[in-house]
Amino acid sequence: MDDLYRDYILDHYKQPRNFGELEPHDLEALEHNPLCGDELGVHIRVCDERIVDLRFQGHGCAISQAAASIASEELKGMTLAEVEQLDADWMIDLLGIPVSATRRKCALLNLKVVRGAVTGDHAWPT
Amino acid sequence: MDDLYRDYILDHYKQPRNFGELEPHDLEALEHNPLCGDELGVHIRVCDERIVDLRFQGHGCAISQAAASIASEELKGMTLAEVEQLDADWMIDLLGIPVSATRRKCALLNLKVVRGAVTGDHAWPT
Amino acid sequence: MPSVAESTLGVRADFPIFAGRPDERPLIYLDSGATSQKPQVVIDALAGHLRDHNANVHRGVYPLAQEADAAFESARAQIAAFTGATPQTTIFTKNVTEAINLVAYSWGRANIGPGDAVLITQMEHHANIVPWQVLCRERGATLRYLEVDDRGELSLSALDAELARGDVRLVAFAHVSNVLGTINPVAEMTARVRAAGAVSLVDGAQAVPQMAVDVEQIGADFYGWTGHKALGPMGIGVLHGRGEILQEMEPFLTGGDMIASVDFQSATWNELPWKFEAGTPMVAEAVGLGAAVDYLSALGMDRVREHERSLTAYMLEGLARVPDLRVVGPPEADGRGALASFTIGGLHPHDVAELVSRSGVCIRAGHHCAQPLMRCLGVGATARASVGVYNDRSDIDALIDALLAAREVFALDAP
Amino acid sequence: MPSVAESTLGVRADFPIFAGRPDERPLIYLDSGATSQKPQVVIDALAGHLRDHNANVHRGVYPLAQEADAAFESARAQIAAFTGATPQTTIFTKNVTEAINLVAYSWGRANIGPGDAVLITQMEHHANIVPWQVLCRERGATLRYLEVDDRGELSLSALDAELARGDVRLVAFAHVSNVLGTINPVAEMTARVRAAGAVSLVDGAQAVPQMAVDVEQIGADFYGWTGHKALGPMGIGVLHGRGEILQEMEPFLTGGDMIASVDFQSATWNELPWKFEAGTPMVAEAVGLGAAVDYLSALGMDRVREHERSLTAYMLEGLARVPDLRVVGPPEADGRGALASFTIGGLHPHDVAELVSRSGVCIRAGHHCAQPLMRCLGVGATARASVGVYNDRSDIDALIDALLAAREVFALDAP
Ligand SMILES: Cc1ncc(COP(=O)(O)O)c(C=O)c1O
Ligand SMILES: Cc1ncc(COP(=O)(O)O)c(C=O)c1O
């Protein structure tokens, strides 16, 4: 079996969780992967400083789509303060596959979008 | 004895012929050697399409000064049409020493000035 | 397998990178469109210059400095001759991107104003888009795009129509597209541009490495290319310009070497080509690029083109056997350069590139610095395989096998 | 001769050019101020990268491309660390000339306007003069010069007086003068410039190769230097900038790699430092420069400085023995970098350089790209001897002997 393209990665890629639009929503953001031009956007509904629902939309490779799908299940229910603390390691650990330096940008795109929506800081990760 | 700094070169350098100003004059030009910033100017008096007198002024290395001095003796009496025909080989032959690619600019500076004064073409030699 | 022999130049051994990789996987290098590998003669020329003849150029009177001068200027002469240009009008830049920026800043700011238009094409590389966006915004001019048709080609009558509008001052276009592979009819295009009183710039980044290019015959006002794609070192590019235009232009970068004299408040400029080369140039890289064009000349650019054309035809055949694979650009190898960009249904190009790399196959995935074209094609990204002098049919066979295997990982044929 | 041992680093054997010249003359290289010779480790790093790890950077997913990426970005990290900077604010250019032009075009055109002044000094290299002339002319601003005094030094109170005029937006000056050798009090100067609300640019071309430089401590807004003088390859320069200023600046060259996304009419920019690096960069040259700064770090920049200071003191003593010789710049070796510029009465510097080259001595003659300074000094040209890590006292002895012999050719002591 392939190291990177594990069954659960392919499963999340082919049947992504929490994809689509969310109307109305309280927070949103859109980011590009400069490597390939892929786009990922997020809609977030917030209640009491906590993420109560979110949806991703856009297109990308298996890594970026699976990462968004896997993360979406964890993000629901987190407080905004918790989201602000999330770092690259959190996402990479969650993915559970060895990600090369080049593909890191794919793996982290969704966290970049979510952090952008929550904190307004679009520079992360540098 | 040095190949380049022959006695007659040093002699022309130390006692340059036809140096100074010439007033009044009919033609003049001034050029820089971009290699070192040296300047050489010329004043030319013309009668009947012929150089009847000329003077160089400026400062430079032994090669450029000796070249100007040696050439000045040949240039007097030439027709303007003849001056237009003069080329780099004429000057290098006249100098009679092996001139490296770098020092060529020094050796040819005076001819560049004279041709500039006579033809208005300051681009020579390219 | 006589067919393999048919499309090999037999030069792989000249390129040391193929002698063995640390991971002992084979190196199936199909990314020459991004950058070429370097023959040993180029590496040796560059290293040998630094080892034996290194000095600063243009000013030293000692022998070592004269050797450096001679090496630099004779490399320029070799490189100019390779593309049918003169040394005086052959300017070294760090890459073709700088060459295009030089024209945009130096010619553009002086000649483009409000009401004027710059015309480029939908198939340009960002290097031949963004400088014109910046120029047009700064000067209040308009940037227009010539359309790419379904075959991935430009239309000369569309060019005529654009020129007939009377506002076009500059037309900039690729000689060979780095995504579609399209070989544009550059001589026909420059002739029309000239007839309309406009100036032409041709981006030859992909063309010079793979076919005989004669800039005199092409007749462009500016023709730029980049050393690293033409078997040369990185860090060096070339801008050929028409002498009269270069003469009239103000310099771009200013500083040492490009001046005739400097006073406190003003300066005068050196002659061509040095007027456009500020500061210490990349001497060893020029020597390396000189060795590269010599190497290519010895192979013969017509042979190089025929080899790569035939290999590209073979690749197009192979790609046609991969289910759900769609190639963009001209359908036949005759009208295209040595590359094929494609998508595979259900597979993202990044995943394709990653999966084929498991068998040592190196291809590129992404927007290839041509996002506007991607939009026109309606795709976010493509995978691209491009061939060089060192490739042969075995590389293509490895690519096709790897693509088929990639589909299996994603179980695309599963019921 | 213990005194020779005292001022040698014992590293000449690391530099293959000294192993023997084709004409079998010794190579007495005293022109490191123009460019340095390269240790074998630098040549090997550059050639090794091209041989084993060559690919285009930033976009490839296959292992070779990742090796190239890693090599390039870890070279950047090494180089940034060498000068106390961060990788994010360490931008690669082709030389320091381009680095200064980048600031003039990108920061200058947005921040300098009519009524503003740019302040430079009389000791600048053309690279730190002409870009400001061009900028000031274009923007209707004034270019003023800080005076150099009889000792070849700048005056801090003159700087204060200039800043007090209230119109100075940018102050640009050399860390070490390439003609006088003067080491300027850069930290004091940048502090004053900052206090006055102006921006500072330091030209570190001569400083970085010969002394420990910490750009954080110096506190300049921009600090540029050039690889080829610091034992590195040609074709690479460095611009360090203050992060906040770089963030606000528009890019200079535009094209591939420096964008985040490109649409038909507009584009957005990549993050630092890539926003300022358009097109394929000089990857192998960065790797080579990384090896160079490693080599220098292993020697220790304080030892390098002490060695070169002591050798310069020895050179000043020797030059004092040559009749009619006048050294320009600071009288003592403590306040000056590793060079001495001089004139000899009755001998033109070109002739001096040519004559000493007969014994293998390589020195430079001319205006050293500092014509305004030449005017201030009242000379057309000077000869300049500059030392590097590979020199020792025997080189200086050869220079002095050759200078004395040159005077004899011109029979300067003849009655
Ligand atoms: C002080 C100084 N500034 C700038 C430069 C220009 O360096 P480069 O030609 O590498 O851009 C030099 C060297 O020539 C120099 O000595
Ligand atoms: C068509 C085309 N133009 C321009 C470029 C830019 O070349 P460079 O990055 O060497 O400036 C490339 C290659 O990336 C290209 O393929």
Band of pLDDT at residue D332, cut at 50, 70 and 90: confident
Count structural domains, chain A.
Answer: 1
What is the percent of chain C with per-residue pLDDT over 90, rounded to a whole number? 91
CA B115, B119, B125: angle at the middle one, nearest 5? 45
Query: Residue D322: what residue type?
Result: V
In this complex, is the C-beta atom of C185 within 8 Å of any C-beta atom belonging to chain A?
no
Tokens for B5? 């700094």
**Mutate which of C125, C201, C206 for ligand 2 pocket (most atoms within 8 A of beta carbon):** C125
Band of pLDDT at residue D415, cut at 50, 70 and 90: low
A34 occurs within a structural domain? yes
- D214-228 pLDDT, tens digit per residue, is 999 999 999 999 999
pLDDT at C390 over 50: yes
In this predicted structure, what is the pLDDT of residue A63?
Answer: 93
Segment 377-406 of chain D within 8 Å of chain B by CB: 380-381
pLDDT at C415 over 70: no
Max CA-CA distance within chain B? 44
Across D228-241, average pLDDT = 98
Candidates C306, C363, C372, C368; CA nearest to C337 is C306
Locus of tokens 């100019």? C80
Backbone angles phi, psi at C46, to 5 degrees: -65, -50
C267 occurs within a structural domain? yes
- Asked if A101's CB is within 8 angstroms of D66's CB, the reply is yes
**Single pTM value for the model:** 0.95
What's the start-to-end Cα distance of chain B, in Å? 33
Cis peptide before D330 (omega within 30 of 0): no
Nearest CA in chain D to B60: D348
In this predicted structure, what is the pLDDT of residue D117?
Answer: 98
Domain range for residue D119?
A: 43-297
Output Rg (C-alpha) for chain B, integer angstroms: 13
CA distance D299 to D82: 13
C1 occurs within a structural domain? no
pLDDT at D2 over 50: no
Nearest CA in chain D to B63: D351
Q: A and B: touch, per 3+ CB pairs < 8 A?
A: no
Q: In chain B, what residues touch C69 (CB-CB under 8 Å)?
A: 101-102
Question: Which has more pLDDT, D386 or A39?
Answer: D386
Output Rg (C-alpha) for chain C, integer angstroms: 22
Tokens for C310? 């035939």
C7 occurs within a structural domain? no
Residue in A32, A37, A102 nearest the CB of D60: A102
Q: Are residues C165 and C220 in the same domain?
A: yes
- D83-101 pLDDT, tens digit per residue, is 999 999 999 999 999 999 9
Chain A: partners with 3+ C-beta pairs within 8 Å: C, D
- Which of B7, B9, B36 is best to mutate for the D interface (most D CBs within 10 A)? B36
Contact call for residues D371 and D179 (beta carbons, < 8 A): no
Name the 3-class secondary structure at C304: helix
B91 occurs within a structural domain? yes
Q: Are residues D200 and D188 in the same domain?
A: yes
In this predicted structure, what is the pLDDT of residue C4?
Answer: 44
Q: In chain A, what residues touch C410 (CB-CB under 8 Å)?
A: 5, 10, 62
Measured in angstroms, the CA of A22 and the nearest CA of chain C are apart by 23
The last residue of one of the domains, among D259, D278, D297, is D297
D6 occurs within a structural domain? no
In this predicted structure, what is the pLDDT of residue D34?
Answer: 97
D20 occurs within a structural domain? yes
In sign, the C-alpha dihedral spanning C398, C404, C405, C410 is: positive
Q: Which residue out of D136, D362, D369, D376 is catalytically annotated?
A: D369
Q: Are residues D273 and D327 in the same domain?
A: no
Name the 3-class secondary structure at D202: strand
Q: Are residues D174 and D282 in the same domain?
A: yes
Across C49-67, average pLDDT = 93
Question: Which CATH number goes with the domain that contains D317?
Answer: 3.90.1150.10
Q: Are residues D245 and D99 in the same domain?
A: yes
Band of pLDDT at residue C1, cut at 50, 70 and 90: very low
- Asked if A35's CB is within 8 angstroms of D59's CB, the reply is yes
pLDDT at D3 over 70: no
What is the pLDDT of chain B when averaged over all its residues? 91
In this complex, is the C-beta atom of B34 within 8 Å of any C-beta atom belonging to chain C?
yes
CA distance C204 to C222: 10
In this predicted structure, what is the pLDDT of residue A125?
Answer: 67
In this complex, is the C-beta atom of D23 within 8 Å of any C-beta atom belonging to chain C?
yes
Contact call for residues C285 and D234 (beta carbons, < 8 A): yes
The last residue of one of the domains, among D258, D273, D297, is D297
Q: In chain C, what residues touch B121 (CB-CB under 8 Å)?
A: none
In this complex, is the C-beta atom of B12 within 8 Å of any C-beta atom belonging to chain D?
no
* DSSP code, position D103: I
Ligand 2, pocket residues at CB < 6 Å = C 95-97, 125, 127-128, 174, 178, 203, 205-206, 226, 228, 237, 369; D 256, 279-280
A57 occurs within a structural domain? yes
Helices C40-52, C283-299: axis angle to 10 degrees equals 150
Question: Which has more pLDDT, B19 or C413?
Answer: B19
Centre of ligand 1 to C-alpha D365, Å, is 15
* DSSP for chain B, written as a single string: --SSS-HHHHHHHHS-TTBS--SS-SEEEEEE-TTT--EEEEEEEEETTEEEEEEEEEE--HHHHHHHHHHHHHHTT-BHHHHHH--HHHHHHHHTS---HHHHHHHHHHHHHHHHHHH-------
CA distance C192 to C198: 9
CA distance D171 to C309: 56
pLDDT at A126 over 90: no
A2 occurs within a structural domain? no
CB atoms within 10 A of CB D13: 11
Q: In chain C, what residues touch B100 (CB-CB under 8 Å)?
A: 61, 66
Tokens for B26? 């009919």
- Asked if B100's CB is within 8 angstroms of C60's CB, the reply is no
CA C146 to chain centre: 20
Question: Which CATH number goes with the domain that contains D289?
Answer: 3.40.640.10
In this predicted structure, what is the pLDDT of residue C2?
Answer: 38
Q: In chain D, what residues touch A99 (CB-CB under 8 Å)?
A: none
D186 occurs within a structural domain? yes
CA distance D399 to D162: 41
Band of pLDDT at residue B38, cut at 50, 70 and 90: confident
Name the 3-class secondary structure at D326: strand
- Asked if D145's CB is within 8 angstroms of C264's CB, the reply is yes
* DSSP for chain A, written as a single string: --SSS-HHHHHHHHS-TTBS--SS-SEEEEEE-TTT--EEEEEEEEETTEEEEEEEEEE--HHHHHHHHHHHHHHTT-BHHHHHH--HHHHHHHHTS---HHHHHHHHHHHHHHHHHHH--TT---
Contact call for residues D185 and D158 (beta carbons, < 8 A): no
D35 occurs within a structural domain? no
**Mutate which of D97, D120, D186 for ligand 1 pocket (most atoms within 8 A of beta carbon):** D97
In this predicted structure, what is the pLDDT of residue A4?
Answer: 87
B24 occurs within a structural domain? yes
Count structural domains, chain C.
Answer: 2
Contact call for residues D249 and D107 (beta carbons, < 8 A): yes
CA distance B19 to C383: 72
Backbone angles phi, psi at C99, to 5 degrees: -60, -45
- D307-319 pLDDT, tens digit per residue, is 999 999 999 999 9
In this predicted structure, what is the pLDDT of residue C6?
Answer: 61
Ligand 1, pocket residues at CB < 6 Å = C 256, 279-280; D 95-97, 125, 127-128, 174, 178, 203, 205-206, 226, 228, 237, 369
Segment 310-329 of chain D within 8 Å of chain B by CB: none
- Asked if C98's CB is within 8 angstroms of D278's CB, the reply is yes
Q: In chain D, what residues touch B61 (CB-CB under 8 Å)?
A: 348-351
Band of pLDDT at residue A122, cut at 50, 70 and 90: confident
pLDDT at C166 over 90: yes
- D237-284 pLDDT, tens digit per residue, is 999 999 999 999 999 999 998 998 899 999 999 999 999 999 999 999
Contact call for residues C381 and C374 (beta carbons, < 8 A): yes
- Asked if A34's CB is within 8 angstroms of D260's CB, the reply is yes
CA C242 to chain centre: 19
Q: Are residues C62 and C123 in the same domain?
A: yes
Contact call for residues C177 and C129 (beta carbons, < 8 A): no
Question: Which CATH number goes with the domain that contains B97?
Answer: 3.90.1010.10
In this predicted structure, what is the pLDDT of residue D236?
Answer: 98
pLDDT at C164 over 80: yes
What is the pLDDT of chain D when averaged over all its residues? 95
Across D289-296, average pLDDT = 98
In this predicted structure, what is the pLDDT of residue D1?
Answer: 37
Q: In chain C, what residues touch B107 (CB-CB under 8 Å)?
A: none
* DSSP code, position D148: P
- C346-379 pLDDT, tens digit per residue, is 899 999 999 999 999 999 999 999 999 999 999 9
- Asked if B34's CB is within 8 angstroms of C260's CB, the reply is yes
pLDDT at B48 over 90: yes
Q: Are residues D192 and D324 in the same domain?
A: no
* CA–CA distances in Å: residue C308 to residues C97, C338, C400, D310: 25, 6, 17, 60
Domain range for residue B24?
A: 7-118
Segment 217-246 of chain D within 8 Å of chain C by CB: 226, 228, 233-237
Question: Which has more pLDDT, D412 or C313?
Answer: C313
Looking at ligand 1, which atom is closest to the CA of residue D228?
Answer: 10
The last residue of one of the domains, among D297, D313, D340, is D297
In this predicted structure, what is the pLDDT of residue D56?
Answer: 96
CA distance D175 to D209: 11
Q: Are residues C242 and C215 in the same domain?
A: yes
pLDDT at D43 over 50: yes
Segment 69-128 of chain D within 8 Å of chain A by CB: 69-70, 88
CA D13, D16, D20: angle at the middle one, nearest 5? 95
Give the ligand at the shortest distance from the Cα of C279: 1
Centre of ligand 1 to C-alpha C279, Å, is 7
- Which of B61, B103, B106 is best to mutate for the D interface (most D CBs within 10 A)? B61
Candidates D338, D368, D351, D342; CA nearest to D29 is D338
- D347-389 pLDDT, tens digit per residue, is 999 999 999 999 999 999 999 999 999 999 999 899 999 999 9
Candidates D336, D238, D333, D246; CA nearest to D293 is D238
Centre of ligand 1 to C-alpha C373, Å, is 41
- A79-110 pLDDT, tens digit per residue, is 999 999 999 999 999 999 998 888 888 899 99
Nearest CA in chain B to D368: B36
Q: Are residues C283 and C310 in the same domain?
A: no
Q: Which residues lie across from D343 on neighbouring strands?
A: D326
In this complex, is the C-beta atom of D248 within 8 Å of any C-beta atom belonging to chain A?
no
Q: In chain C, what residues touch B126 (CB-CB under 8 Å)?
A: 88, 271
pLDDT at D6 over 70: no
Give the ligand at the shortest distance from the Cα of D176: 1
Q: Are residues C287 and C176 in the same domain?
A: yes
Q: Are residues D195 and D307 in the same domain?
A: no
* CA–CA distances in Å: residue C281 to residues A30, A74, A80, D39, D283: 42, 54, 53, 20, 16
In this complex, is the C-beta atom of C43 within 8 Å of any C-beta atom belonging to chain D?
yes
Contacts 24+ apart (CB under 8 A), C393-398: C393/C1, C393/C3, C393/C4, C393/C7, C393/C8, C393/C311, C393/C314, C394/C4, C395/C28, C395/C29, C395/C30, C395/C361, C396/C311, C396/C314, C396/C315, C396/C318, C397/C318, C398/C26, C398/C28, C398/C359, C398/C360, C398/C361
Label residue D68 left, alpha or beta by phi (over 0 means left) and psi (-120 to 50 means alpha): alpha
pLDDT at D230 over 70: yes
Looking from the CA of C326 toward its CB, the CA atoms found within 13 Å total 15
- Which of B3, B33, B39, B102 is best to mutate for the C interface (most C CBs within 10 A)? B102
Indicate the pairing of strand C90-93 with strand C28-29: unpaired
D2 occurs within a structural domain? no
- D134-155 pLDDT, tens digit per residue, is 999 999 999 999 999 999 999 9
Nearest CA in chain D to A36: D59
Band of pLDDT at residue C33, cut at 50, 70 and 90: very high
CA distance C30 to D332: 60
Name the 3-class secondary structure at D358: coil
Contact call for residues A98 and A10 (beta carbons, < 8 A): no
In this predicted structure, what is the pLDDT of residue C198?
Answer: 98
Band of pLDDT at residue D4, cut at 50, 70 and 90: very low
CA distance D98 to B35: 21
CA C352 to chain centre: 25
Q: Are residues C330 and C263 in the same domain?
A: no
Output Rg (C-alpha) for chain A, integer angstroms: 13
Backbone angles phi, psi at B27, to 5 degrees: -130, 150
